[in-house]
Amino acid sequence: MSQPPYNCVSPQQVMLNPNGAGSPGHYARLQNPPQHPSLQAAVDQSEMPDTFYSVNAIRLRHLPRSNFHTPKHQTIPGIIFSSRGYPGIRVKDILLGQGRAIVDSPHDFIFKGHGWRTTTLNLNYPGYNDPFPWRIDTVDSATKTLMTRFQLVEKLCILIRAFCSQASKLTIQPGYENWALGEDNVRLGDIYLFSIHYYRNVWVPEIYVVE
| Residue 9 confidence (pLDDT) | 38
Q: What is the pTM of this model?
A: 0.77
What number of CA atoms fall less than 13 Å from residue 181's CA on the CB side?
20
| Residue 173 confidence (pLDDT) | 92
Burial of 122 (0-12, 13-18, 19+ CB in 10 A): middle
Domain residues of the chain, as ranges? 19-210
Cα 41 from Cα 38, distance rounded (Å): 5
| Residue 151 confidence (pLDDT) | 94
Question: 53 near 20, Cβ under 8 Å?
Answer: no
Cα 119 from Cα 11, distance rounded (Å): 52
- Counting runs of H as helices and runs of E as strands, what totals does the chain give? 5, 10
In this structure, how many other beta carbons lie within 10 angstroms of the beta carbon of residue 62? 17
Per-position pLDDT tens, the chain of length 211: 444 443 443 444 434 444 444 545 444 444 454 555 545 554 344 567 888 888 888 999 999 887 777 767 888 888 989 898 888 999 999 999 877 788 999 999 999 988 889 999 998 899 987 656 889 999 988 888 999 999 999 999 999 999 999 888 888 999 999 999 998 899 999 999 999 989 888 999 999 999 9
| Residue 13 confidence (pLDDT) | 40
